[in-house]
Structure 1
Amino acid sequence: MSANRTHRSITGSTRRPELMLVLGSSLTVVSIIAIVTFLLIREHANAMQAATRGATNIVQLIDADVLRNVELYDLSLQGLIAAAQRDDLQQVSAQIRHLVLFDRASTARFKGDVLLLDKHGEVIADSSLIQPKPGNFSDRDYFQAHVTHRDTGMFISRPFKSRCDCADSDQWRISFSRRISSPTGEFLGVAAASMRLAYFDELFSSLNIGTDSTLNVLDKDGILLAQKPMLTDDSIGKSFGSRPNVIRILHEGSGSFVSVSSMDHQDRLYTFSRVGNLPLTVSVALSMDELFASWKRTAYVISGATGVLCIGLMWLTLQLCRELRLRRHAEQELAEQAAIDALTGVANRRTLDQALNREWSRAQRSGKPLSVLMIDADHFKSFNDRHGHQGGDDALRVLARVISENIRRPSDLAARYGGEEFSVVLAETDTFGALQIAENIRAAVEQLPPFEGDESPITVSIGLSTSTGQPGESLENLMYAADKALYQAKHRGRNRVVSAQE
Structure 2
Amino acid sequence: MTQTPPSQPDQLPKDAVPPSATRWIIPGGLLIVLLVAVLTTVSLWEARQNALGNEQRQIGDLVLITSQDIQRHYELYDLLLREAAAQIVDLPPSRGTGAPANIIRRTMDASRIPAEMILISESGKLVASSRHPTNGEQAADRDYFIIQRDQPATGLYLSRPFRNRLDQEPCVALSRRLTDSHGNFAGVLAILVPLQSVREMFASLTRHRSDAISLIRLDGTILVRQPDLGSFGGFGLNVFGRPNFQRMTTTPQGSFTSTSEIDRVKRYYVFSRVGDLPLIVVVGVGMDAVTAPWQAQWLAGAATSVVLCLLILGAAVALRREMLRRFEIEQEFLRLSQTDSLTGLPNRRHFDEFGQREWQRAARQRSSIAVLMVDIDHFKQVNDRIGHPGGDRVLREVSDIIRASLHRPGDFAGRYGGEEFAIILPETDAPAAAHVAERIRAAIEANTAEGVAPVTVSIGLAAGLAAPKGTLAEMMIAADHALYRAKETGRNRVVSSHVARNDNLRPLAC
Q: TM-score, normalised by structure 1?
A: 0.49
Bigger radius of gyration: 1
Q: TM-score, normalised by structure 2?
A: 0.48
